[in-house]
Amino acid sequence: MPLRTRAFGVLLKKIAKEPTTPDQMIALRIKREKLLSTGVGRFVCGADSPNVEVDEVIAEIEGRAVRLRIHRPIGAVGTPPIVVNYHGGGWCLGSPEQSRWMASRVAERAGAVVVSPVYRLAPEHPFPAAVDDACGALQWIGLHAADLGGDPGRIAVMGDSAGGNLATVAALAARDAGGPELRGQVLIYPAVEMYERWPSEDENADAPVLTSSGMHTFTEMYLAADHGTEDWRASPIRAASHEGLSPVLILTAGHDPLRDHGRHYREVLQAAGVRVELIDYPDTVHGFAALPGVAPTAHTALGDIVAFLKGVF
Count CA within 13 A, CB hemisphere, residue 299. 6
Rg of the chain over Cα atoms, rounded to whole angstroms, equals 18
CA angle 307-308-313, nearest 5°? 100
Concatenate the DSSP letters of all residues of 187-241 into one string.
EES----SS---HHHHHTTT-SS--HHHHHHHHHHHHGGGTT---TTTSGGG-S-
For residues 98 and 34, what is the distance between their CA atoms, to the nearest angstrom? Answer: 11
Positive or negative torsion for Cα 244, 245, 246, 248: negative
Nearest to 301 by CA among 163, 187, 166, 164: 187
Alpha-carbon distance 52 to 28, whole Å?
Answer: 30
Q: Could you give the C-alpha distances from 17 to 21, 28, 214, 273, in angstroms and in order?
A: 12, 9, 10, 43
Q: In whole angstroms, what is the distance from residue 57 CA to residue 311 CA?
A: 28
Count of other CB atoms within 10 angstroms of residue 278: 17
Which residues participate in catalysis according to the annotation?
161, 256, 286
Q: Which of 191, 146, 163 is nearest to 84 (CA)?
A: 163
Considering only CA atoms, which of 184, 218, 311, 298 is closest in space to residue 251? 298
Angstrom distances, CA of residue 265 to CA of 116, 141, 221, 235:
24, 26, 24, 11
